[in-house]
Protein backbone atom coordinates (compact mmCIF):
# COMPACT_ATOMS: atom_id res chain seq x y z
CA UNK A 1 0.00 0.00 0.00
CA UNK A 2 1.19 3.51 -0.73
CA UNK A 3 1.73 5.54 2.44
CA UNK A 4 -0.58 8.51 2.93
CA UNK A 5 1.86 11.29 3.74
CA UNK A 6 1.12 14.94 4.57
CA UNK A 7 2.05 17.79 2.26
CA UNK A 8 5.85 18.24 2.03
CA UNK A 9 8.33 18.94 3.38
CA UNK A 10 9.03 15.71 5.26
CA UNK A 11 11.81 13.11 5.17
CA UNK A 12 12.23 9.66 3.64
CA UNK A 13 14.56 7.00 5.04
CA UNK A 14 15.33 4.64 2.17
CA UNK A 15 16.66 1.25 3.27
CA UNK A 16 17.90 -0.97 0.44
CA UNK A 17 19.11 -4.51 1.15
CA UNK A 18 20.14 -7.88 -0.19
CA UNK A 19 19.13 -10.74 2.11
CA UNK A 20 21.01 -13.86 3.16
CA UNK A 21 19.41 -17.29 2.60
CA UNK A 22 16.58 -18.40 4.90
CA UNK A 23 14.24 -16.45 7.16
CA UNK A 24 16.03 -16.90 10.54
CA UNK A 25 13.34 -14.84 12.29
CA UNK A 26 13.54 -11.98 9.78
CA UNK A 27 9.83 -11.82 8.89
CA UNK A 28 8.74 -11.64 12.51
CA UNK A 29 11.31 -8.94 13.30
CA UNK A 30 10.39 -6.97 10.19
CA UNK A 31 6.74 -6.92 11.25
CA UNK A 32 7.75 -5.89 14.76
CA UNK A 33 9.89 -3.00 13.47
CA UNK A 34 6.98 -1.62 11.43
CA UNK A 35 4.70 -1.92 14.47
CA UNK A 36 7.29 -0.19 16.66
CA UNK A 37 8.01 2.55 14.09
CA UNK A 38 4.30 3.36 13.94
CA UNK A 39 4.45 4.15 17.66
CA UNK A 40 7.29 6.67 17.25
CA UNK A 41 6.68 10.41 17.34
CA UNK A 42 7.08 11.86 13.84
CA UNK A 43 6.44 8.61 11.94
CA UNK A 44 4.30 9.24 8.84
CA UNK A 45 4.16 5.90 6.99
CA UNK A 46 6.08 3.10 5.32
CA UNK A 47 6.27 1.31 1.96
CA UNK A 48 8.18 -1.88 1.27
CA UNK A 49 8.92 -4.27 -1.60
CA UNK A 50 11.27 -7.23 -1.96
CA UNK A 51 12.53 -9.31 -4.84
CA UNK A 52 16.28 -9.78 -5.28
CA UNK A 53 16.72 -6.35 -3.68
CA UNK A 54 14.50 -5.17 -0.85
CA UNK A 55 13.52 -1.53 -0.56
CA UNK A 56 11.75 -0.08 2.46
CA UNK A 57 10.97 3.62 2.59
CA UNK A 58 9.79 5.08 5.87
CA UNK A 59 8.53 8.65 6.07
CA UNK A 60 9.21 11.00 8.98
CA UNK A 61 8.19 14.49 9.99
CA UNK A 62 11.76 15.68 10.73
CA UNK A 63 15.39 14.65 11.23
CA UNK A 64 14.97 14.58 15.01
CA UNK A 65 12.29 11.89 14.71
CA UNK A 66 14.62 9.84 12.50
CA UNK A 67 17.46 10.22 15.01
CA UNK A 68 15.24 9.06 17.88
CA UNK A 69 14.07 6.06 15.83
CA UNK A 70 17.69 5.10 15.14
CA UNK A 71 18.44 5.34 18.87
CA UNK A 72 15.46 3.14 19.86
CA UNK A 73 16.93 0.17 21.76
CA UNK A 74 14.81 -2.53 20.11
CA UNK A 75 15.51 -1.05 16.67
CA UNK A 76 19.25 -0.97 17.46
CA UNK A 77 19.17 -4.65 18.42
CA UNK A 78 17.37 -5.54 15.18
CA UNK A 79 19.97 -3.63 13.15
CA UNK A 80 22.72 -5.61 14.87
CA UNK A 81 21.01 -8.89 14.06
CA UNK A 82 20.62 -7.69 10.46
CA UNK A 83 24.37 -7.16 10.15
CA UNK A 84 25.09 -10.57 11.71
CA UNK A 85 22.46 -12.77 10.06
CA UNK A 86 19.93 -11.26 7.67
CA UNK A 87 21.75 -9.07 5.15
CA UNK A 88 24.51 -9.70 2.64
CA UNK A 89 24.59 -5.95 2.11
CA UNK A 90 22.48 -2.88 2.82
CA UNK A 91 22.45 0.88 2.46
CA UNK A 92 20.43 3.55 4.26
CA UNK A 93 19.79 6.93 2.69
CA UNK A 94 17.92 9.91 4.10
CA UNK A 95 16.28 12.39 1.74
CA UNK A 96 14.14 15.48 2.20
CA UNK A 97 10.89 15.25 0.26
CA UNK A 98 10.19 18.69 -1.15
CA UNK A 99 7.43 17.74 -3.57
CA UNK A 100 5.07 14.83 -4.09
CA UNK A 101 2.14 14.18 -6.41
CA UNK A 102 -0.05 11.34 -7.55
CA UNK A 103 -3.60 10.07 -7.34
CA UNK A 104 -5.55 7.41 -5.50
CA UNK A 105 -8.59 5.59 -6.96
Please report the domains of the chain, with CATH numbers, ordered by start residue: 10-97 (3.30.70.100)
Q: What is the pLDDT of residue 105?
A: 83
Strands 10-19 and 87-97: antiparallel
Q: What is the pLDDT of residue 79?
A: 93
Over residues 80-104, mean pLDDT: 95
List pLDDT tens digits, range 10-67. 999 999 999 999 999 999 999 999 999 999 999 999 999 999 999 999 999 999 999 9
Amino acid sequence: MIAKTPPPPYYAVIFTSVRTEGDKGYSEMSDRMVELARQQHGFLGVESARNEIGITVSYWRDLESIRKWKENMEHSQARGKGREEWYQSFKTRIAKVEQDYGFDR
